[in-house]
Structure 1
Amino acid sequence: MNKLYYIKENGIHKLHYDFGESKCELFILLNQRVEPLHVHNFDELAVVFGGSAIHVIDEQKYPVVRGDVFVIRGKHRHTFEELDNLNIANIIFRRDYFETLEKEFADLPGFKALFIDEPRYRINQQFKSKLHLNSGQLQEIMNLLNGIRDEQANILPGYNEAKERIFEFLIIKLCRDFSKKQTANTMSLLRVSKAIDYMENNYEKRITNCLLARMTDMSESNFRYCFKKVTGLSPIDFLIKLRVEKAVGVMETTPSINVTETAMKIGFDDSAYFSKKFKQIVGISPMIFLKKQRAKVE
């Protein structure tokens, strides 16, 4: 049975791969053919090493050319149109493996921007923050991809582990290249990504625009402008939304908690203000949300 196959559910094409014991696999596609618009049961790192096309993802269209590198999260519907001798290397990887990599490379400059925030905020950025490699950088990446290809072909003892180590070094190399890229869009994404990472790990603390601006080496006004350009939200609105999302998680796992305790736990000093923002974002009050959670466990 082919390990890579399509199924169709509710009119949506879903591309599945049976990984078995493998955590990642490389597919090198020469003169890529047209595929149906689809989602995956895996995530994917794409390296364009020849030709061009229009990448259609989440109903948006972006040109891709030789040297472009980007991540496609499995939940996003995508395909390629107007293919012109498109040659592309796809490394597909299991989502639980990516969660491990996310922890392992948490402090690696460029990782969060390239693998998490660029895909997340791609529509706002119009794909202008994608990584583009020059000829020398692309050749270095192709050498690593050839190493993965050889391990897959030869199937020597330890080949799965060897593939993973090469892939992880490839990630480090790409993150270094992304961090060195000095366009306005990528610099904004790198700096905003640093602020987002801090907010996600310290949401319960007092966080100000001034603090985040200093952290990202920007003036406060420029930081606010860049943050909204990348995320579509002001820093304070982003923080409020993040805290409300954390509150939902707290109340789902601890339905015995009350509204005031929840507000204090996730960084709100005023439970009334928390309730107002919670209802705006979730659609119901935190009190009603808690009642529904308690009913589930009774």
Structure 2
Amino acid sequence: MFKVNAKTFNPEILYVFDVATIGPSSGSNHHHDFLELSIIVEGESLYTISNQDYYLEKETVLLFNPGISHYEHSLTDMNNIQLHIGFRNVTLDYLPKNFFPVDSPIIHLKKKNTEFFAICRKIILERTANEPGIDLMIKSLVTQLIVLLLRDECALTTTTTQAILSVEEQKKQQTVKDVIHYLESNYTDDIALNDLAHIFFTSPTNLSRIFKEETGDSPINYLIKIRLEQAKLLLDTEMDIPIKEISKLIGYNDALYFSKLFKKHYGQSPSAFIKNKNK
């Protein structure tokens, strides 16, 4: 099994949706700059992947690394139910970020097939029910799917050795993982870039550079996102916690500043979020 660091494993789920298709239909050729799972839960479909055509049946998993072109099409009388999941911020030890070592995007699970597709159906039911905490539940279920892919002997391959990072790149990767773990464990503290650089025995400039290379963001912006995600979880609970108190709980003494950050990130103020949640 490919290893992940449980302390820093925190996939960002970009979208999850299920769709029932009755042919004829055709999509457009495209690719992503993130990872995508397209899962044929029921039925049959045609896929064109990197200009090659494939006929695929139920319980087929498609795992697209960034940059892999693909599109789906169905003939008359073809029908299927598919689950599509876009995600990023996943790193397997010694491999580039957002990369899974697969010989082919088409995966037929063996050892974990039954368990995997039971979770897929659970995700579809969860989306239909749309109960409070749906985002957190779906993230948990998607995380389970990723782990099952790592565990199944037929999913990933060890032959993609050219993708293994150099020792220097592995050290950078580990430093960023350690910084993320520190931020997630201490986000309520007053943390500055200079403090982080001192803790991890490097310069602020170097830390910012390698962190952005790995995450696409600065350490402080990453910290802000952690705090706002925690605030969103607190706002989404049934507990009536005052916004001022939530602000303090995530590390901001200035509730007005917190509200501005929240609105900039989520497109609505904390009070508007609460109001919309209760509709």
User: What band does the TM-score fall into relative to the shorter chain?
Assistant: 0.3 to 0.5
Relative contact order (alpha carbons < 8 A, sep ≥ 6): 1 or 2 greater? Answer: 2
TM-score by length of 1: 0.45
- The answer to which structure has the higher helix fraction is 1
